[in-house]
């Protein structure tokens, strides 16, 4: 009877001792990860509130960078908690952690060759955040290795491994940071909307320039566009000459990320103004690729 009950006693003692410690470690790890996530979400909401109070039109560069830093710190905190919890649980299970260092090193080297891309992604993400190449809410164009075309959209998440971008179609594109070969930030400091206006060669250039100048002044005085423009749109002059038409370029400096909205509004105003002046506008009135600075 005593011999048969001994294993049950040992299991009971282990459950009350190390087993209980393992349960407490797992619970503590879950609570810590939830706390870290809660703190990260709370800090992000506080950043959003401060940003909306200071500037309701566009996020400042500092706000975007703080968002990216908070996301990265949250991700690193979760990884550290899980790693420490696994080590502590192995110790409670009686697995000699020091004894598995050498085999783990060999396995780590083998995994390292297979996980080179992951390490590359993490290093690239580190430099993306520290160099402030872009942040949460930025409008960016990413050239990704192997992608047929560039990805343009708004940054929704930045971690050390991936960047999540939402395109104008509502699609979420998740890209490993190590695969990004070029970043075009369309939301840095200020942007530029460029409109090339095609005009028949029979029309006087001076007349068209005067009309476009008035449109620029009216656009800057418009309540809907004034807050998006840094100054009145400028007529740069004749950009190109073809056999049957020439193009006059209009340039407007805008708040970061607002160049597309301003470009659409300018095209509409220019078309109406030219028609009122009796100038026929060809159907290929278009906006040149916007730039940012």
pLDDT single digits (tens) 228-254: 898 899 998 888 888 888 889 999 988
Task: Work out the mean pLDDT of the chain and round it to a whole number.
Answer: 80
Residue 293: pLDDT band with limits 50, 70, 90 = low
User: Which pairing describes strands 286-292 and 162-166: parallel, antiparallel, or unpaired?
Assistant: unpaired
**pLDDT of 82-124, one tens digit each?**
888 888 887 777 776 665 555 666 566 655 665 677 778 888 8
What is the pLDDT at residue 100? 59
pLDDT for 255 beyond 80: yes
Residue 260: pLDDT band with limits 50, 70, 90 = confident
Angle at 228 between CA 69 and CA 256, to 5 degrees: 30
**pLDDT of 26-80, one tens digit each?**
888 889 888 888 888 888 778 777 666 555 445 565 666 677 778 778 878 888 8
pTM, two decimals, is 0.54
3-state SS, 112-168, equals HHHCHHHHHHHHHHHHHHHCCCCCCCCEEEEEECCCCCCEEEEEEEECCCEEEEECC
What is the pLDDT at residue 2? 46
Is residue 160 within 8 Å of residue 124, measured between CB atoms?
no
Q: Cβ contacts of residue 159 below 8 Å, gap of 6+?
A: 71, 72, 75, 125
Helix axes 61-92, 20-54, angle to 10 degrees: 180
68-107 burial: b if 16+ Cβ within 10 Å, else e? bbbbbebbebbeebeeebeebbeebeeeeeeeeeeeeeee
Work out the average pLDDT over 6-20: 68
Q: What is the C-alpha separation between 267 and 284, in angstroms, rounded? A: 11
What is the pLDDT at residue 210? 92
Residue 5: pLDDT band with limits 50, 70, 90 = low
What is the pLDDT at residue 7? 60
Please report, for residues 168, 205, 265, 273, the alpha-carbon distance to residue 269 in angstroms, rounded to integers and kept in the order given. Answer: 24, 18, 6, 6
What is the pLDDT at residue 62? 63
Tokens of 273: 């103004």
Q: Centre a 10 Å sphere on the Cβ of residue 246 and count the other Cβ atoms it contains.
A: 18
Q: Cβ contacts of residue 249 below 8 Å, gap of 6+?
A: 194, 195, 196, 197, 235, 236, 237, 238, 239, 288
Decide: helix, strand or coil at residue 179: helix
**pLDDT of 156-178, one tens digit each?**
888 888 899 998 888 999 999 99
Q: What is the C-alpha separation between 216 and 144, in angstroms, rounded? A: 37
Is residue 133 within 8 Å of residue 183, measured between CB atoms?
yes
Is residue 254 within 8 Å of residue 228, measured between CB atoms?
yes
Using left for φ > 0, alpha for ψ between -120 and 50, and beta otherwise, residue 287 falls in beta
pLDDT for 150 beyond 60: yes
Is residue 187 within 8 Å of residue 155, measured between CB atoms?
no
Q: What is the C-alpha separation between 71 and 126, in angstroms, rounded? A: 12
Residue 1: pLDDT band with limits 50, 70, 90 = very low
């Amino acid at each position: 009877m005593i011999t048969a009950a001994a294993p049950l006693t040992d299991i009971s003692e282990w459950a009350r001792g190390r087993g209980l410690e393992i349960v407490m470690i797992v619970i503590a790890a879950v609570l810590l990860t939830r706390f870290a996530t809660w703190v990260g979400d709370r800090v992000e909401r506080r950043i959003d509130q401060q940003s909306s109070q200071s500037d309701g039109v566009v996020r400042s560069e500092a706000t975007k960078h703080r968002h990216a830093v908070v996301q990265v710190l949250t991700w690193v905190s979760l990884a550290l908690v899980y790693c420490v919890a696994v080590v502590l649980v192995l110790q409670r299970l009686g697995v000699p952690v020091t004894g598995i260092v050498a085999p783990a090193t060999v396995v780590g080297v083998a995994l390292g060759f297979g996980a080179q891309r992951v390490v590359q992604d993490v290093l690239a993400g580190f430099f993306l955040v520290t160099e402030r190449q872009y942040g949460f809410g930025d409008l960016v164009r990413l050239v990704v290795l192997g992608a047929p075309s560039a990805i343009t959209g708004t940054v929704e998440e930045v971690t050390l491994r991936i960047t999540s971008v939402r395109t104008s179609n509502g699609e979420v594109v998740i890209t490993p940071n190590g695969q990004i070969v070029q970043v075009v930030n369309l939301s840095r400091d200020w942007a530029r909307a460029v409109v090339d206006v095609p005009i028949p060669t029979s029309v006087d250039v001076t007349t068209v320039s005067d009309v476009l100048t008035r449109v620029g002044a009216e656009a800057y005085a418009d309540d809907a566009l004034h807050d998006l423009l840094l100054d009145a749109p400028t007529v740069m002059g004749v950009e190109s000459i073809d056999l049957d038409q020439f193009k006059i370029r209009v340039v407007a400096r805008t708040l970061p990320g607002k160049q597309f909205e301003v470009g659409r509004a300018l095209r509409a105003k220019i078309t109406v103004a030219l028609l009122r002046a009796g100038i026929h506008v060809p159907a290929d009135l278009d906006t040149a690729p916007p730039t940012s600075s």
